[in-house]
Structures are given as C-alpha cells and as structure tokens.
Amino acid sequence: MLIIKLSVIDSTNSFLKQWVQQTKAHNAIGVWADYQTHGTGRMGTKWHSEDGLNLLCSVYLGDISNQINGVFDINKRVCLAILDTLIPQNIPALQIKWPNDILSAGKKIGGVLVEPILRGKQVTGVVIGCGININQLKFPNLPCASSLRKATGKTHAIEPLFESLAHNIESTVRASNTDNSRYLDSMFKLNEACSFERLDGSSFIATIVGVADNGKLMVKHADGTSELFEEKKLVFKAFAHC
C-alpha cells in the first residue's frame, strides 16, 4: 500500500478521489493528515477535530468487485477493522453504534465514511474515510464524544495506529466474506429495548434485533411487529444532542 502523509488538507476522502481519477498506478493507497479543513461524515455531517491530536485518514482500495455484496457490507468490514486496531490498545468496552460510529464505554470515539467507486452499478473500488479521536481531551458541545486518551489516561502515537488501521482495513475488506456474527455481537444495544425518535418528533421504545443487508436497522416493537429504518430517519434518544 502506498502511504501518503499530509499536514493540512480539505478532506482526505476528496484528496484520494481526485488521486484515483488522475492515476491508476496503485490499487491500495492510504493517506492521513494532521488537520482537515472540511472533514465530513455520513450524509454531509461535519467532523470536527483539533489540529494534530486525532487520526484523520482515508484508504483507497481498487479491484474489490469479487469480495463485496454492497456498500453497507464494506461499512461493516471497516467497523470491524477499527475494532481490530483499537483492541490491542486496551480501549474499554468497544462497540459499533449503527450505522457507522465506534463507541468506547458508550461514548463516540470514531466514525466511518464509505464512498464507492462504481462502474455502472458494480462497485469496483472504494474510498474509506475514518476519523478516530486519539489525544483530544475537550469536545465543546459534544457530550457523547470521547477519545483514546480520555478512555485510557495516556497519549497514543498516531502514525503506528494509522499504519495498523490501513493494514486491517485492506485485509478485512479484501477478505472472502464478512464476519456478520461478529458485527452483530459488537452492536451497541443489540437485543435491548431503546428509546427512539422519528423525524416527525414522535417517540417510541423498541428492541434492536439486527441490520438488514441494505443497511437498514431492524427493530421489534412490544406488540411483536418489526420495522426497518433508513439512516437519518431515526434517532437514538440517548444520542439526540450529540
């Protein structure tokens, strides 16, 4: 894998997408930056990070058409790759909050943005953006945010974490199959009753029972009926102000 280190960039995902359009020299590229001026999460949300304190990175992988069953399949694999990177750092109580957040002890420490490269309707490559809070201690107006340093009480070197993460992403995404059972076992609040809010402001309590292949959250109501929810059509009330 070609590794690129940047000091400041608008977005590592944007950088890699432009790179891929201009050259076909590599089918695996990893790029990380000290600071992003326009870092983004899923659905256009903003990712805020202090300069030099966190891991802001992207990985491009080409020639993946034979391994992948859909964009959310990539998302699941990347979330598991992040867990594989953080477990050796003794980060406590790691979980995946649907659809793309990484939690430690119920606090958000990371997120994933998957942007497929298509040939017709077929996914032939992917740019994967990851933001992981490493050494930042203050998160103004973000009560649900945390970092590796807050979780462990010590500072962490960012470069070796990126190298490990880039390797884990490539090996996991290129694997012959997705470890769906492990993904489910790692899900935040799986098989627990949770409070949710719909876009119209109405609230309800339901039990998370899984995730459909297309990435929709599967919940079961008290009367036994089930319902599927798309991303951004449902809010965990515990994270409503995060």
* Residue 125 and residue 53 share a domain: yes
Q: What is the pLDDT along the chain (242 residues), one digit of tens a residue?
A: 999 999 888 889 999 998 888 877 789 999 999 888 865 554 445 556 678 899 999 999 998 866 667 889 999 999 999 999 999 999 999 999 999 999 999 999 999 999 988 877 778 889 999 999 999 999 988 899 999 999 999 999 999 999 999 999 999 999 989 999 999 999 999 999 999 999 899 999 999 999 998 999 999 999 999 999 998 899 998 887 77
Which structure tokens are listed for 23? Answer: 């050259």
Residue 48: what pLDDT? 60
* Residue 218 and residue 105 share a domain: no
- Domain with 216, as residue range(s), is 193-239
Task: Say if CB 83 and CB 104 are below 8 A apart.
Answer: no
Contacts of residue 140, defined as CB under 8 A and 6 or more positions apart, other chains included, come to none
Last residue of a domain, one of 185, 203, 227: 185
Residue 238: what pLDDT? 81
* Residue 44 and residue 70 share a domain: yes
Residue 37: what pLDDT? 82
| Domain at 198, CATH number | 2.30.30
* Residue 153 and residue 219 share a domain: no
* Residue 211 and residue 175 share a domain: no
Q: Which amino acid is at 88?
A: P
* Residue 54 and residue 19 share a domain: yes
| Domain at 112, CATH number | 3.30.930.10
* Residue 52 and residue 125 share a domain: yes
* Residue 203 and residue 101 share a domain: no
Which structure tokens are listed for 155? Answer: 């500072």
Task: Please state, in angstroms and as integers, the Cα–Cα distance from residue 11 to each residue in 7, 28, 82, 209, following that order.
Answer: 11, 18, 20, 35
Residue 75: what pLDDT? 95
Which structure tokens are listed for 179? Answer: 């470890």
The count of domains in the chain is 2
Residue 187: what pLDDT? 97
Residue 174: what pLDDT? 93
The whole-model pTM stands at: 0.91
* Residue 162 and residue 74 share a domain: yes
* Residue 118 and residue 57 share a domain: yes
Indicate the average pLDDT of the chain.
90
Which structure tokens are listed for 213? Answer: 């292949």
Residue 43: what pLDDT? 44
Nearest in space to 76 (alpha carbons), one of 193, 187, 230: 187
Task: Say if CB 71 and CB 116 are below 8 A apart.
Answer: yes
Last residue of a domain, one of 165, 185, 205: 185
* Residue 168 and residue 116 share a domain: yes
* Residue 204 and residue 138 share a domain: no
